[in-house]
Chain A
Amino acid sequence: MSIQDLLSPFTAWKNLFRDPVTIQDPFNDRPGSERYRGFHKNDVASCIGCGTCETICQNAAIDMVVGEGEPTGAGDSGLRPRIDYGRCCWCALCVDICMTGSLTMSNAYTWVERDPDAYRFTPGVDKKSWDNAPLGYQRAESHRLAPTQRVTMGEVAPERRIGSFEEIVQGYGVEQARLEADRCVSCGLCIATCPTHMSIPDYIQSVRDGDYEKGLALLYETNPFSNVCGRVCTHKCETVCAAGHEGEPVAIRWLKRHIVDQLPVEKYRRIIGDPKPPTGKRVAVIGAGPAGLTAAFDLAKMGHSVVVYEAREKPGGMFRYGIPEYRLPYDAMDIDIEIITSMGVEIRCHNRVGTDITMEQLHQEYDAVLLSIGLHLGRSTRIAGSDHKGVAKAVDLLRDIADGKSIDVPKQCVVIGGGNVAMDIARSMARLQKSTQGEIRVTVTALEDLDHFLADPEEVKECGEEGIAILDSRGPQEICLDDQGQIIGLRTWGVESIFDEQGRFAPRYNPEDEQIHPADRVIEAIGQQSDVTLLGEALTEKLAWNRGRIAVDGQGRTSEGWLWAAGDCVNGPDVVHAVADGHRVATDIDLMLQKKR
Chain B
Amino acid sequence: MMRELYKKTKQLFPLGDLTEQRHDLVFVSIPHPFLSSLLRHLRDKEGFSHLVLLTAVDWLERGEFQLTYLLCNRSKAWDMGVRVVLPREGATMESIHTLWPTAATYQRELKEMFGIDFPGSPGVNDDFILEGWDDIPPYRRDFDTLKFAEARFTQRPGRESLDPAQHMAKHHSDGS
Query: Which residues on A are within 8 Å of B, measured CB to CB?
Result: 49-51, 54, 57-60, 62-66, 72-74, 77-79, 84, 86-87, 116-117, 120, 187-189, 191-193, 195, 197, 201
Contacts and interface: CB of A to CB of B under 8 A. Distances in A.
B165 A192 contact: yes
A73 B175 CA distance: 9
Interface string B96-133: 00000000000000000000000000000000000000
A64 B165 contact: no
Contacts of A77: 164-165, 167-168
Given A79-B167, A197-B169, A59 B149 contact: yes
A362 to B, nearest CB: 30
Given A58-B149, A60-B149, A86-B156, A51 B163 contact: yes
B156 A117 contact: yes
25 contacts: A50-B164, A51-B164, A57-B146, A60-B146, A60-B149, A60-B150, A63-B161, A64-B164, A64-B167, A65-B162, A72-B171, A73-B172, A77-B164, A78-B167, A78-B168, A79-B162, A84-B156, A87-B149, A87-B155, A117-B156, A188-B164, A189-B164, A189-B168, A192-B174, A201-B165
B60 to A, nearest CB: 16
A63 B160 contact: yes
A164 B160 CA distance: 58
B128 to A, nearest CB: 19
A414 B34 CA distance: 74
Contacts of A192: 165, 168-169, 172, 174-175
Interface in B136-176: 145-146, 149-150, 153, 155-156, 158-165, 167-169, 171-172, 174-175
Interface of B: 145-146, 149-150, 153, 155-156, 158-165, 167-169, 171-172, 174-175
B167 A191 contact: no
Contacts of B164: 49-51, 64, 77, 79, 187-189
A191 B162 contact: no
A195 B75 CA distance: 67
Contacts of B167: 64, 66, 72, 77-79
Nearest to A55: B146
Contacts of A193: 174
Given A65-B161, A188-B163, A189-B168, 9 more contacts: A63-B159, A64-B161, A73-B172, A74-B172, A77-B167, A116-B156, A120-B156, A187-B164, A191-B175
A116 B155 CA distance: 13
Contacts of B159: 63, 84, 120
A117 B158 contact: yes
B165 to A, nearest CB: 3
A116 B172 CA distance: 34
A506 B168 CA distance: 37
Nearest to A63: B161
The 4 closest A-B pairs by CB, nearest first: A188-B165, A77-B164, A63-B161, A192-B175
Residue of A57, A77, A120, A197 most packed against chain B (CB within 10 A): A77
A51 B161 CA distance: 10
A87 B153 contact: yes
Nearest to A119: B156
Contacts of B165: 77, 187-189, 191-192, 201
Contacts of A191: 165, 168-169, 175
A155 to B, nearest CB: 31
A500 to B, nearest CB: 28
A262 to B, nearest CB: 23
Contacts of A64: 161-164, 167
A79 B165 CA distance: 10
A334 to B, nearest CB: 31
Contacts of B145: 58-59
A57 to B, nearest CB: 8
A94 to B, nearest CB: 13
Nearest to B160: A63
A188 B159 CA distance: 22
Contact of B146 (A58, A188, A201): A58
Contacts of A117: 156, 158
Nearest to B168: A192
Contacts of A78: 167-168, 171
Nearest to B164: A77
Contacts of A74: 172, 174
A78 B171 CA distance: 9
B167 to A, nearest CB: 5
Nearest to A57: B146
B136 to A, nearest CB: 15
B27 to A, nearest CB: 20
Contacts of B155: 60, 84, 87
